[in-house]
Every structure is written in C-alpha cells, then in structure tokens.
Structure 1
Amino acid sequence: LGSVTYAPMNSVKNASTTTSISFPYLREIYGYMLLGYSSLDSFSSMFPNLSVIHGRDLHQGYSLIITNNFLLHELGLKSLMSIRRGNVIIARNAQLCYGKSLRWNDLLETKQNHIILRQNRDNCAFCPTCPSACWSPTQCQKTCSANCQGNCVSEKVCCHEQCVGGCYYHNRNMSSTLICNACRNMRIYATGICVQKCPTNMLKNASRWFRALVSF
C-alpha cells in the first residue's frame, strides 16, 4: 500500500472511540501514514500487523504523523518495527499515554531523522505491565537481541537478513517457515522470498504504489 491518510474530522458530539475499519493483512506502507482528527482511543484494531513504514513518499518530510486525536489514549501499533525514512511527529493528542516510553531510535533505520512528541499527555509515561517501552498498557514494544539488529520474530529468533520489520511463522506453527513482513530490497512474488537482487532468469517489476484516503 502506498500512503494512508485517516482523518475523519469527528466532532465531540458524535464521537466514537472504536471503528469497524481494519487492515489486518497490511504489513507495510511504502509512503507515509497520517492519522489525525479522529475520536479513536487506539489504532490497535485498525493496524494490528503493520510492521514497516518505508517512507518512499513523505508528507512535508514526515513518514508518520499522528495528531489532533482528542480521545486517543494509546498508539496501539504493536507490530511496528521499522520506519525506514522520514521524520515522525506525534502531537496535540491530549489523552495520549506511553508515547515517550517507546524506543523510537530502535524503529528508525536512518538515525538522522527526528522524532517530535509534544502536547500529548505527559503524566502517564510509564508502562504498567512492560519492563520499559509499550504501545499500550498490555502491548510491550518488541525487543530483539543484538545479533538480530532489530529484525526478529521474538527476542532470540532472528529473521533472514533480507527481511525488514521482522517476520512471522507460516501457518502460525513455530516450526514452520519464517516469512518476511517486508523486504529490504525485493521479493520473488512466486515464492514470497526476499532477495538482494533480481535473479538472472527473472525480470524486475518496477515498484508501484498508490495513496489510500480513508475518511468515514
């Protein structure tokens, strides 16, 4: 998917903290994601498996913008492991907790990018059930061992070096094949395998993406 904008412009009068909109199969966004002006209290059910924001297309230099969500209590992006390009701004979410607890530098592939957190709720920065960083009171930020370089399915199980944003077990069987959430370079779509360069017997399909505007 290219870029995602969710900005329903909810008013306090008709505010709902939940939504039926969900993208359970969305694991990577090629462009940016803007989440704003909603009454949701969490984005957990909307993006349960989003792992990578590539940032190939940016919004004013940002790849992740979360702003003016007046009932947002938690980010809930528990699967997010990599922001490959672009800055991040999370601002003016008056009820938002735990944003400052997150290890944002672990998510950024380019360390020169900036993280801006301001005008959120600051008196609830600590996670009640996690050792340090959390997306919500019950969703800890995933930790990878040093040799996994931030690319793992669990703390001690690393993903293939061509994966980015972690991986998952095929058929949810811990003895089955590990599938990359996204590829560092390119994917052979017939097999789903990530590779560094296109095999000599195949042709590269130019990357194409589109922008999704979700507004209800």
Structure 2
Amino acid sequence: MVDQPLTSRGAATHRRIIEVATQEFAEHGIAGARVDRIVAAARTNKAQLYAYFGSKEGLFDAIFFSSLERIVNVVPIDATDLADWAVRLYDEYLRRPDLIRLATWARLERRPAGHLVDDPDRLDDNKLRAIAEAQAAGLVRRGDPFDVMAMVIAMSMAWSPVSNVYAATAQEPAELHERRRALLHESVLRAMAVDQDHQS
C-alpha cells in the first residue's frame, strides 16, 4: 500500500503532535510520557496519533531521530575548526535544550552502554571522515576520529541540560555566554591541537 500525502489539515495535526510530544518526552522521558496528555494538548485523538506513528515508542523514535538529524544539519562539522564547531553546538543546546533531554532519556531508558543509536554510521560517517581528513592534513591531533569527535561534543555539552555541574539557559546574560564560549573555544583549540613532538 502506498502512503498518501498528508492533507493540509492532516499536516497541521501531525505537526502539533510532534511539537507537543517533543516537550512531553523531553520532560517525562519515554516511560513517563502520556499519550492522553499529548493528544489533548495537540487537539487530536489516539487513533490519529497511532495512524501516524504506530505507537508511543514509534512517536518517540520519529522525534528522536529528527532531533539528531537537526543537530547534524543545523550545526554541520568543520573539522578544520573544531573549536568553532564546539561553540556552535553550545549555542544549539541553548536554543533547543529539549533535543539534549531527548538524547538523555534515550540513553537512560534504552541504551545505557555503547552507541546511542542502532546505526551510528548514518549520522557520524561525514563527521568522522572530515576529522580523519583534517588529521591527515596535520590540522588535528592524532587519535581515533570517533574519540576526537566524542571529546569535542562532550566539551561542548559542559553547560548543557545534561551537565551534572551547571545547566545554562538562553535567558542568562549575554556576557556570561560569551565568557563560556571563549573558554570552550580555547579549550577545544588546545585539546585538539597537533602535538608537534609526536608528528612524523
């Protein structure tokens, strides 16, 4: 059976479900999210939700993978300037803290160890290739490209909603964010700089 395109009314309902469910999952996690609350806030019904997404888990999957792809697309990697990439990730976490919370719930409730998704290559291939090329060009320190990527992302999340020290918000003073951006930029720059003593 071929899927039919959504009508304008159906598209609006679909969009409302996604918007409401994103906040519901970000706040309550997968187990704690309630379909009743989602359909009430989205002004629809369970039958419509299940017709679009199949199940609550299917709805979470749709939102979660969309959030991962958003970060990849909105904050594309520049492996020749990983410090700038880290700062742009910091800014995205300020704009969309719900996306980081979704990933945290996926880690807590689904995958406590290993990769966060079944097929990490789908999202990481371009990033890892870019880092490897920058390493080959002598622009980034040696090491497993995946580990380099993981470290830069971890540094960018130092003040994100998953921080166990301090979670920043977009409402804080601009000068505070500028100070953090400067520290993050310098730290990543130093951490990922080529060690001339160990280059052939």
For the criterion TM > 0.5, the same-fold answer is: no
TM-score when normalising by structure 1: 0.22
Give me the TM-score of the superposition, normalised by structure 2: 0.23
Question: Going by fraction, where is strand more abundant, 1 or 2?
Answer: 1
Relative to its length, the structure with more helix (as a share) is 2
Kindly indicate whether structure 1 or structure 2 has the higher relative contact order, using CA contacts under 8 Å at least 6 residues apart.
Answer: 2
